[in-house]
Amino acid sequence: MLLFVFVLAPINAENSNAASERSRKIASYENFTMGVWNDKPIEWRVLDVQEGKALVISEDNVTVRQFDGLEKQYGKRLADADIDWSDVFVTWEDSEIRAWLNDVFLDEAFSKSEKDNILISETQDRVFLLSLDEAEEYFISNEDRQVYFEMTNNEKNYILNIAEEDWGYGEIDLIRRSEELDSNYLGRRLGWWWWLRSPGNISGTAARVYYDGGIGDHCHLVYFDRGGVRPALYLTT
């Protein structure tokens, strides 16, 4: 009689070890990595831990995006739109950045096991941006809120695509914009500002954390294509 012996490899051992190490770091408020974006591991800062969950935020901007391209209100081509800025109000709930974070970013940045540890937030999101109040509460100073970002070709192409499709840039203008991005941003690690989910104090804007980490009256038009994205999550501990 032949006896077959099957050795089952611990296929989840690596994930289990990573989760255990992550939990240890969260408990001691140490930075940790989870997920990948633009071929780089995402580093996370722990902001708060309580009742079996941790609020974390990326240490730096992971990319740049518009808060909203106003496509729902004015169609894809903003260059041809007659925009009444006094009547433009974009909320977090209806924003394109919220949809992108909870669809494209969530799906592409994290493995299945990592996504299983991401909880639903009070805003009914798995990935979200901090509010103005949270940005003030969880950081001890302006300096503590300062971040950096290094633009890649992915962001450059995103910006050029908006210039062409939304604003009707022709070939010459696109070349100039491309050269500007190459000279001033591409591959350079620079101080950057980042979006918050709170509305701005002027119609058509969203709140943001400024380059120097300042908050308050700082805001920016929602369609601006170079707003820093600093995702936040609630994780199981």
Q: Residue 9: is its pLDDT beyond 50?
A: no
Query: 184 falls in which pLDDT band (50, 70, 90)?
Result: very high
Check residues 5 and 56 and name the one with the higher pLDDT.
56
- pLDDT above 70: residue 4: no
The SS3 of residue 155 is: helix
Residue 195 has pLDDT above 50, yes or no: yes
In this predicted structure, which of 6-20, 40-54, 153-167 has the lowest mean pLDDT?
Answer: 6-20
| Residue given tokens 């994205």 in the structure block | 229
Tell me the pLDDT band of 216, cut-offs 50, 70 and 90: confident
Residue 218 has pLDDT above 80, yes or no: no
Q: Would the pLDDT of 150 be above 90?
A: yes
pTM, two decimal places: 0.88
CB 57 within 8 A of CB 45: yes
Exposure pattern of 91-117 as b/e (b: 16+ CB <10 Å)? ebeebbbbebbbeebbeebbeeebeeb
Domain residue spans in the chain?
13-236
- Of residues 89 and 173, more confidence is placed in 173
What is the rounded distance in angstroms from the CA atom of residue 234 to the CA atom of residue 50? 11
- Of all residues in the chain, what percent carry a pLDDT higher than 70? 87
